[in-house]
Amino acid sequence: MESEGKVVVEMVGGRSTVTRCFSKYPLKFIVPNKGDSISCELTVGDGCTAVLTTQASTKVYKSMGSKCSEQVLETRIGSGAVLAVIPDPVTCFSTARYSQKQVFRVVSDSSLVIVDWITSGRHESGEKWDFDLYKSTNHIFLEDDQPLFLDTVLLERGSITSIAERMQDYQVIAMVVILGPKMNHIQSLVQEEVKRIMSEQLRGPPTSLGRQIITKSDHCLMKPSFIASASVFGPKGIGLVVRIAAMTTESVYRFLQHQLACLEPLLGVSPYR
């Protein structure tokens, strides 16, 4: 497929400004603006399957003043339908301000997988939890707008302690939601795997999964490099939420690859491969 593009940068008001930007698929130029706002609607019809993913991490650039970049996703998932929202992580640059909201409307036999995660930033540039604001909201509603799952993660630079001080050595936080009748087997496998991982890390001497910290009293304490919890929600435990804090992005990718591999027959592809 042939593609073409053209970009013109000119001086406007004493600043270099993109005055013309044209591209033809599959080529695409991105000219980021401060405080971008994106809104998207997605409907998955009865009996259908859809996968929503990204080509790479979502990068949130530095903010100007109090401007906040925003992203909103509204979805409806039909009867017997499957939706997997499996993006790469969000990476916020220094001083960035970012807010996203995802609303999922399901019926009793809809199936849904959500992966929502963020890294601490651009390590190669010395940035770790150096953004000003990150807010991620995920809401799931049943018929008649009955709330099934309401969750918000908020990380905000404080006047007393920074985000980096609160997060300590952990560089990634993630949440995985698995819901619906077609996910029952996967929910059970993930729950058992989380139990196994944490029981191995929290007993016995430190392994490659954790590291030792020597306190002032010369007692050895292990800080796990990967922490996960799993809990059910909703009527009769129809949903499962897994929360993760990890010291490396790679360890979370490995976890997602392994735990979501069972989705391949449903999706036609194994996530995060």
Per-residue pLDDT tens digits for 202-239: 775 554 445 545 454 445 567 899 999 999 999 999 99
Residue 160 has pLDDT above 90, yes or no: no
Please compute the mean of the pLDDT values over residues 231-254 and round it to a whole number: 96
Per-residue pLDDT at 207: 47
Residue 164 in contact with residue 173, Cβ under 8 Å?
Answer: no
How much is the mean pLDDT over the chain?
91
- What gap in Å lies between CA 42 and CA 75, rounded to an integer? 5
Q: Is the peptide bond before 26 cis (omega within 30 degrees of 0)?
A: yes
Residue 109, sorted as left (phi over 0), alpha (psi -120 to 50) or beta, turns out to be: alpha
- Residue 220's pLDDT is 55
pLDDT digits (tens, 9 = 90+) for 9-39: 999 999 888 999 988 888 888 787 767 889 9
Give the pLDDT confidence of 123-147 residue by residue, as tens digits.
888 899 999 999 999 999 999 899 9
Angle between helices 184-201 and 249-259 (to 10 degrees): 140
Please enumerate in sequence order all residues whose Cβ is within 8 A of that of 267, keeping only pairs 6 or more positions apart, or say none: 49, 51, 82, 84
